[in-house]
Amino acid sequence: MCGIAGYVGTRNIISTIISLLIEVQHRGQEAAGISLIRTDGRIDVVKGRGYVLDVFNEETINILRIASDNIFGAIGHVRYSTTGEYLEHQAQPVALGDENYRIAIAFNGTIANYIELAKEFNISSNRGDVFVLAEVIYKLALEYGKDVVEALKVLPYYVIGGYSLAVATSEPRIAIARDPYAFRPLVYAYNEREFVFASETSVLECVGFNNWSEVLPGEIVVFDGNSVEKTRSTFSAEFSPCIFEYVYFSRPDSIFNSISVYKARIGMGVELALTNPAQGDVVIPVPDSSRPAAIGFSKASGIPLEEGIIANKYVGRGFIAPPFIRDTLSKLKYGFVREAVNGKRVVLVDDSIVRGTTMRSIVRRLREVGAKEVHVRIASPPFRYPCFMGIDISSREELLAWRFSDLKNIAKSIEADSLGYNTVEGLRRAVGLPSACFACFTGIYPFKEFDLEKMEKMISRCYV
């Protein structure tokens, strides 16, 4: 999972793209970057490690301003690593090509078969899936007479995985595309003077674009400065948007596939209270993504909701933090309100348990500040299987629910008095989509020729 954004238009392009990236920061905390596309075909990239405002400080903004003459537009990226190591050189956007034809790409998702693609296209795989993807798109574009749209039409026939991406070209024009399975969100808006896109609807609304459209499965949307054109890949795939976007990734004020993320999370809490009730005095959400589910649980159960945990806004999202600091962040991220939990039976509602590091720390701290009992309720089903479409999990061995398949053993490992999960059917009802990808809960992947073992074997090569 990462975040992408871009802008072409009459506003200050540098300030607008930085604003968009700040609004999509929740989707990636490791690195940020911007690519400026000039009207004369040149493409400049400025990127670095850290948050958006760490990378785009006074010095780098001055660099962008110096390079801001004759600018057509910009694309940007915030990074959360999903394959390979946490390395600065994997920051995006990635630019490549020569004086005759050049592209820059910003990409959200995972290409599970990028090692195989690298061999097929005679590309080095040392720098990760985004560089392989960029090279594949570039080579396909050259085959089609420097037409990146034609390249994006055939791209699904080569890749296994999920993507929402933007490609800026030296013509200049910007093309955005969503894979035919529609795993990741991507939205855009345009008017007579402007074209803007981002990973989520809330991002566009925060900068004043309320009349947005979602990119359809397999759709390619292109803007050349004068008009917007739309086309689609002919690749046939089952509609399989990532259910974890509703559980955790997306902002609650976003719409994904015409469904409110906030309402879906409220529904998850209601379903959870009906299928896994708890005897408690107070419902406490794990902030921030679990708050709507806790509201739903409280409404359905009649147990009052309290804000017993306060999130440190300067730590960020622990689940998508780099692996080497996750344990530390799990201890620093939260403060606890003694008055809300002291002497009470706490029903602790969270969106998911993945590795279990954060949950164990929270349960311990609740007891330290006086909780009589801690009953953990999870708004999603047990997370038992790795994701190969945009989450940094390469093996089942990382997952708490895989290591301890028995519910009592999982509860014991996180030191809770009891533990209850939502069901797959409960989650399906809460979201309300006719189909979606539940692979992280079921182990059933939408790629017809690849089961869990084949997918895990393929992606494991990326972590060698």
Per-residue pLDDT at 357 exceeds 90 = no
- pLDDT at 328 exceeding the cut of 90: no
The better pLDDT of the pair 10, 329 is held by 10
How many of the other CB atoms lie within 10 Å of CB of 298? 22
Q: What pLDDT score does 463 carry? A: 43
Q: Which residues are part of the catalytic machinery?
A: 2
288 lies in the same domain as 329: yes
Q: How many domains is the chain built from?
A: 2
Domain membership of residue 288 (yes or no) is yes
Band (461; pLDDT cuts 50, 70, 90) = low
Residue 158, domain member (yes or no): yes
Do 35 and 172 share a domain, yes or no?
yes
**For 333-451, where are the alpha helices, taking DSSP H only?**
338-341, 357-368, 400-403, 407-413, 424-431, 439-442
Q: With 50 as the cut, is the pLDDT of residue 86 above it?
A: no
Residues 223 and 344 in one domain: no
- Indicate the pLDDT class of residue 453, thresholds 50, 70 and 90: confident
> Quick one: 227 and 266 in the same domain?
no
Q: Among all chains, which residue has been given the structure tokens 């390079």? A: 67
Tens digit of each residue's pLDDT (9 = 90 or more) over 107-130 = 999 998 999 999 999 999 988 899
Q: Of 175-179, 219-223, 375-379, 440-444, which gets the smallest average pLDDT?
A: 440-444
Say if residue 301 is in the same domain as residue 198.
no
Q: Are residues 335 and 207 in the same domain?
A: no
Query: Is a pLDDT exceeding 90 seen at residue 43?
Result: yes
Q: Are residues 332 and 194 in the same domain?
A: no
Spatial contact of 434 and 440, defined as CB atoms under 8 Å apart: no
Give the mean model confidence (pLDDT) for residues 294-304.
98
Instruction: Looking at the structure, tell me whether residues 221 and 270 fall in a common domain.
Output: no
Which of 212, 232, 252 corresponds to the end of one domain? 232
DSSP E strand stretches across 55-142: 71-79, 94-97, 102-111
Residue 134 sits in a domain of what CATH number? 3.60.20.10
Torsion sign, CA atoms 42, 45, 46, 51: positive
| Alpha-carbon span 198 to 165, nearest angstrom | 10
Which range among 51-60, 67-76, 204-213, 232-241 shows the weakest confidence by mean pLDDT?
67-76
* pLDDT mean across residues, the chain: 91
Write out pLDDT tens, residues 146-159: 999 999 999 999 99
Q: Is residue 105 part of a domain?
A: yes
Q: Is residue 461 part of a domain?
A: no
Q: What is residue 323's predicted lDDT score, i.e. its pLDDT?
A: 53
Has residue 442 been placed in a domain? no
- pLDDT tens digits for range 246-286: 999 999 999 999 999 999 999 999 999 999 999 999 999 99
pLDDT of residue 464: 41
Please give the span between the terminal C-alpha atoms of the chain, in angstroms, as a whole number: 21
- Residue 426's domain comprises 260-433
Using the 8-state DSSP alphabet, how is residue 354 labeled?
S
Judge if 277 and 138 occupy the same domain. Answer: no
Q: Which two tokens stand for residue 216?
A: 């359809």
456 belongs to a structural domain: no
* pTM confidence score: 0.92
The answer to whether position 452 is within a domain reads: no
Q: Are residues 272 and 223 in the same domain?
A: no
Residue 366: which CATH number? 3.40.50.2020
**Residue 241 in domain:** no
pLDDT digits (tens, 9 = 90+) for 376-430: 999 999 999 888 887 766 678 789 999 887 899 999 999 999 999 999 999 999 9
Same domain for 107 and 23: yes
Q: Are residues 226 and 271 both part of a single domain?
A: no
Res 83 pLDDT > 60: no
Look at residue 459 in the predicted model and tell me its pLDDT: 62
Q: How far is CA 342 from the centre of its chain?
A: 36
pLDDT at 332: 67
In 79-146, alpha helices (H): 114-120, 129-143
Q: Residue 282: how many CA atoms within 13 Å on its side-chain side?
A: 21
**What does the pLDDT read at residue 69?**
78
Alpha helices (H) in 342-398, listed in sequence order: 357-368
